[in-house]
Chain A
Amino acid sequence: MRHRTFFWFFLPTALAMLLFIAFPIVSVITQSIFAPHSAVLIEVETCTPLVGCTNETKIDQDATRALRQEQPLGRFVGLEIFKDRGHLAITEVNEIWVQSRSLTDFFIGLGNLPFYRAIAFTLTFTFVVTPFVIFLGLIIALTVNALHDRLKGLVIFFSLLPFVITPLIGALVLFWMIDSRGILGSFIQWLFADPDLSLKASTGLMWMALLVYGVWHAAPFAFVIFYAGLQTLPMDQIEAAQIDGATRFQQVRYVVIPHIMPLVTFVALIQIMDNFRVFEPIVGFNAAAHAQSVSWFIFNDLQGETRQLSSASASSVLTIIGVAILLSPVLVRTWQDFKGKT
């Protein structure tokens, strides 16, 4: 295709992405290296209902306005925000490193810093949920494929539900069920014969609940992709394998899996990306006390009265960098494939 034609074909989608994704990314990067100006504070008398007057501090707007006009972008801080305690916490990590006597000490210390704690959960979530989703998806796909044709439709229908459901709603529904007096909560108490067991009160169990939710929600996505892949299985190869006396397991291992390998890569790619941004389950499960993720930080920074734009921007930039690092092996592979094709 000629460059000119390509340009016109690609223009609408490029424009949409440029305007609504690329520009905001540029502004996010700008915001992460510029912070709001130093506030000039003055003490004034404040009067409120039922109480009377007290002395309170407020921002001196006239003085601050002058500062703002001088440098509309804000105060240039370079990478300061990336390095502060809410993000990479360089100084604090150094201190912990110097003070801790063993590696365990060091990691316990790191666990006290919000960003590293969030990274720990985010990575656990990504690397537990992704393989489980792929594994469970594959098993379901193989099972459904082996079912009687009449049953297939029904099973596919119900299997897709956890995936199509709005994530926030799905998380809420499960959250209501795992309450210590909800049906799942009661069931688990009965299972472990411990009437005081509460999923929501313990960090470990809460992580488990979030992981289970993650798998439950995404397994159908993997399932439907793999199931489609199974429909194009080369029957001659299967037959050849059968003639060679391959067991069922060997057939799956040596014929089916290689056939759908590209699909596994595809699912892994999408899953890693989505799981790294895990956010809705934490809100839906009210789990912020036990598990936080980088996306949750961004949400939290932007919420409510404080609107810490610079901090949220820095977290967003770190998210993009994180995803890029995680995806780099896949990207390198795709690049090699691409070079091979052309």
Chain B
Amino acid sequence: MLARAQRRPASLQIAIYIFSALWLIMAAFPFVWTVWGSFKVELDFFSISDWTFALTGERTTAEYGRPFTGTGYNGAWVKEEFWRNVVNTFIVCFFVVCTSLTIGTLGGYALSRSGYRYTFFLLITALIFRAMPPVTLVAGYMLPFFEWNLWGILPTTIIVLVAINQPFTLWMLHSFFQNIPKELDESAKVDGCTQFQAFRHVIIPVMWPGVITTGLFSFLLAYNDFAVTAMLLSEENRTMVPQIAAFLGTTYTEGNVMFAVSAVVSATVPLFILVMFFQRQIVSGLVAGAVKG
């Protein structure tokens, strides 16, 4: 690796740095901008009079005597009790990730170890299932959920998110397990283990890189979901994303956009931390085979 880098011509080296810098700006700038703006009043953030107000905080200074204010955060976290939504989000994410990995690993493992033709059709069916727009699925749930008194509570939303996420989980884990040599569990079976015992004692210890990566994708899906959570959760059980949408207001009445902006920033923080801690795992999990196709 090093040898190659040394032989790289200077022009290419410069090009690489320029491109990385450009891409970094593209990727990170919107976030920096939003964080900066979240400490301003609405008129400055949207810089409706002049775009430089967003930098200097002209109206914020007029209102508070200094160019930064924590009113947005105070409003969202204290007045509107945004922390409740944060707690709900983490409950939903935790259970979605656990459940979907548990049933997903079992299913994905079975698919990778069975050579029969139906596994192919199961995978294709899963793919078609994934193509279904979640909005429509949700519209179909509403009536039965109300009839059975299941609407509005967290467990219902969790199981729905798990189900919607299964096709992707199955595909990821299926190709990951295919890269774990079949000989491993075959030999365990020769030693007298049942298939489940082989899975339990031989496969589980080596499957973590792929499972963690898949789990991160499940987490993102649950964390970011809007279509399902907005329609299936009642007001007090709302997760973060529908709550942010609620801050934005309706036709007749004023929303509080700055609450929304500061909530957006708050909702992004856990994602930052997540990426920071797991970025190695994402890559190594993918390297370990989940993406070999």
A and B touch in the complex (CB under 8 A): yes
Please give the residue numbers on chain A whose beta carbons come within 8 Å of chain B beta carbons, in ascending order.
1-3, 5-6, 9-10, 12-14, 16-17, 19-25, 27-28, 139-140, 143-144, 146-147, 151, 153, 155-162, 164-170, 172-174, 176-177, 179, 181-183, 185-186, 216, 220, 224-225, 227-229, 231-232, 248, 262-263, 265-266, 269, 273, 276-277, 279-280, 295, 298-299, 302, 309, 312-313, 315-316, 319-320, 323-324, 327, 331, 334-335, 338, 342
Q: How far is the CB of A259 from chain B (nearest CB, A)?
A: 11
A123 to B282 Cα, complex, angstroms: 31
B-side interface residues, number (CB < 8 Å): 89
Is A224's CB under 8 angstroms from B107's CB? no
A262 to B291 Cα, complex, angstroms: 8
A168 to B241 Cα, complex, angstroms: 8
A180 to B277 Cα, complex, angstroms: 38
A200 to B266 Cα, complex, angstroms: 28
Given A16-B163, A166-B223, A309-B139, CB of A266 within 8 Å of CB of B291: yes
**Which residue of B has the minimal Cβ distance to A155?**
B20
Per-residue CB proximity of B84-117 to A under 8 Å, as 1/0?
0000000000000000001110110111011111
- Give the dominant DSSP class at A's interface: helix
Is B120's CB under 8 angstroms from A20's CB? no
Q: What residues on A are CB-neighbors of B139 within 8 Å?
A: 302, 309, 312
What are 9 inter-chain pairs, A to B, with CB distance below 8 A? A16-B103, A146-B5, A157-B276, A161-B31, A177-B33, A298-B135, A299-B135, A315-B136, A319-B132
Q: What residues on A are CB-neighbors of B271 within 8 Å?
A: 161, 164-165
- Give the dominant DSSP class at B's interface: helix
Count of CB-CB pairs between chains A and B under 8 Å: 247
Per-residue CB proximity of B155-174 to A under 8 Å, as 1/0?
00001101110110010000
Is B111's CB under 8 angstroms from A10's CB? yes
A272 to B204 Cα, complex, angstroms: 33
Tell me which residues from 106 to 160 in chain B have a Cβ below 8 Å from any Cβ of chain A: 106-107, 109-111, 113-117, 120, 122-124, 126-133, 135-137, 139-141, 159-160
